[in-house]
Amino acid sequence: MTIFQRILNIPLSSSIFYRFNSNSTIFALSSGLGKCGVAVVRVSGTNANYAITQMTNLKNLPEPRKAVLQNIKHPLTKEIIDKGLVLWFPGPRSFSGEDSCEFHVHGGIAVVEGILNALNSLPNFKLADPGEFTKRAFLNGKLDLTEVEGLADLLQAETEAQRKQAFLQSTGSLSKSYKKWKDLLKQSLANIEADIDFAETETLDYGLLEKVEQNIKNLCKELENHLNDGCKGELLRNGVKTVILGEPNAGKSSLLNLLCHRPASIVTPISGTTRDVIEVTLNIGGYPLVLADTAGLNINSQDVIEIEGMNRARDLYRKADLIILVVNIQSYSSVQERYVSFNDYLKNYISDLGLSDMNFRKNCIIILNKIDLDTRNLSANICDKNVVKLSCKSEEGIIDLIDILTKHLKVLCGEPTQEHPSMNQLRHRQELEKCYHNLQRFLKESERKESPDTVIMAEYIRKALRNLGKLIGEVTSEEILDIIFKDFCIGK
């Protein structure tokens, strides 16, 4: 098996991955697999210097962080593999915290394979596992766990807003708050322990416990704000789940195809064409949107397949973050005389679709489709900022639609560079909820009418501290690391 095949075949959660052995020196291709202009091969570990002295003609290590052009040769055969740049990063001032070096060579498959084979021939060198450089950086205290997660997200980011959020997190935006809260809890714990140890024998600062209580109350407020952020960070990280709903033939599939610029969903003039859910992921104004086309809702249908399709549509409707309701202007036109306004028609339309519990003012965009067939010019009288007049056929109104979609996405996901950083993973939320819960128990104990038990109070703070410690990775388990590092690729 070639070294390339080995890279492709390494199981993400292989058991060797977690047998962290800082004695071995690891290497990997850090730029993408396949032909490219320049490939970067990274080396990290105690013997990283050896890679330079054995594979180049340099007698001494180059100046740190300065590229030098060298012939790069196989250490055993001495055959020159390529001419490229060599960089030396002595630890601890390197990404992993260990001695490291990089070879920047031509990105041909045979060149890269030659360099990897050369490194593999050096004693105690091994091919890195996925995320192993980052794991070493974490274990060497260069990054905390939320920064590691930010880095993983940065590698996965597909939209501009996702990139901004991930970059901020990878450079410590979340850990800054969590470390501040930890420091406050540590100080509070020290004060309570002083009260437990010395209160009877020495005069402590009057009102020390009251101060601690007030600090914990303030921290609880901050935690509440952080937890009740509308899950902005999670929505931005995972994509905003958006469902297209409407009667059969309204133009739902045409809309999905228009937004994703390809015929992802089947469009025909036959009512009830879409039966199953068709999902696409889009980048709208820099925000990620997970868009689902669904079966047309027809409550009178007796067709078993159509009924199943409608059940799936309603299921998505209940879970959706954003709803796009498509109205066919021809359907409206045929009954318009019966209604005092378009809004009046909408209420009835929603109820006919079996969505009577829907609040169409909140996180809902209404599309009045097929305006190219609006022969009576009815759309001219509809002036509602939530209603987009569209023709999927002529594409008239598409700019308005993108505009309103972007506005909704901005509200739902927030603007990472302009707002307080939001947590973006269930792991963070669960740990912070536990922390909040422990602080609430602390406050309950402190407010007890009979004299509160300071030993119990101290224990709740210790528990809350442990929750924050878990969050930033000071206390962690292999299981959690397994989940986090599996998101990385080899070479990172």
Ligand X SMILES: Nc1nc2c(ncn2[C@@H]2O[C@H](COP(=O)(O)OP(=O)(O)OP(=O)(O)O)[C@@H](O)[C@H]2O)c(=O)[nH]1
Binding site for ligand X (CB under 6 A): 246, 248-254, 267-269, 271-274, 295-296, 369-370, 372-373, 391-393
Q: Which helix (H) or strand (E) holds 406?
A: helix 398-413
Q: How far is the CB of 231 from ligand X (least distance, A)?
A: 30
Q: Give strand pairing partners of 101.
A: 43, 88
The answer for residues whose C-beta is within 8 angstroms of residue 270's C-beta and 6 or more apart is none
- Alpha-carbon distance of 84 to 78, in angstroms, equals 16
Cβ proximity to ligand X, 347 vs 393, nearer residue: 393
Cβ proximity to ligand X, 54 vs 369, nearer residue: 369
Q: How far is the CB of 277 from ligand X (least distance, A)?
A: 12
The answer for residues whose C-beta is within 8 angstroms of residue 462's C-beta and 6 or more apart is 189
Q: How far is the CB of 361 from ligand X (least distance, A)?
A: 23
Cβ proximity to ligand X, 271 vs 417, nearer residue: 271
Cβ proximity to ligand X, 250 vs 404, nearer residue: 250
Read off the tokens for 353.
């679709």
Cβ proximity to ligand X, 26 vs 316, nearer residue: 316
Give the DSSP per-residue string, 372-401.
Answer: GG-TT-GGGG---TTEEE--TTT-TTHHHH
Q: How far is the CB of 253 from ligand X (least distance, A)?
A: 3
- The distance from CA 156 to its chain's CA centroid, rounded to whole angstroms, is 8
- Alpha-carbon distance of 39 to 43, in angstroms, equals 13
Cβ proximity to ligand X, 169 vs 369, nearer residue: 369
Cβ proximity to ligand X, 134 vs 249, nearer residue: 249
Q: How far is the CB of 347 from ligand X (least distance, A)?
A: 20
- Alpha-carbon distance of 339 to 329, in angstroms, equals 14
Specify the residue for token string 């979609």. Answer: 405
Cβ proximity to ligand X, 116 vs 329, nearer residue: 329
Q: How far is the CB of 255 from ligand X (least distance, A)?
A: 7
CA separation (Å) from 488 to 11, 169, 171?
12, 16, 17
Q: How far is the CB of 400 from ligand X (least distance, A)?
A: 14
Burial of residue 114 (CB within 10 Å: 0-12, 13-18, 19+) is buried
Q: How far is the CB of 241 from ligand X (least distance, A)?
A: 19
Q: How far is the CB of 325 from ligand X (least distance, A)?
A: 11
Cβ proximity to ligand X, 19 vs 261, nearer residue: 261
Largest CA-CA distance found in the chain, in angstroms, rounded = 91
CA separation (Å) from 1 to 5, 117, 171, 272, 359?
6, 12, 38, 52, 59
Cβ proximity to ligand X, 12 vs 267, nearer residue: 267
Q: How far is the CB of 263 from ligand X (least distance, A)?
A: 11
- The distance from CA 470 to its chain's CA centroid, rounded to whole angstroms, is 19
Cβ proximity to ligand X, 250 vs 355, nearer residue: 250
- Alpha-carbon distance of 492 to 473, in angstroms, equals 19
Q: How far is the CB of 375 from ligand X (least distance, A)?
A: 11
Q: How far is the CB of 311 from ligand X (least distance, A)?
A: 15
Residues 487, 156 contacting (CB under 8 angstroms): yes
Residue nearest to ligand X (CB): 296
- Alpha-carbon distance of 8 to 12, in angstroms, equals 10
| HEC-encoded secondary structure of 173-240 | HHHHHHHHHHHHHHHHHHHHHHHHHHCCCCCCCCCHHHHHHHHHHHHHHHHHHHHCCCCHHHHHHHCE
- Alpha-carbon distance of 273 to 442, in angstroms, equals 59
Cβ proximity to ligand X, 56 vs 254, nearer residue: 254
Q: Which amino acid, 391?
A: S
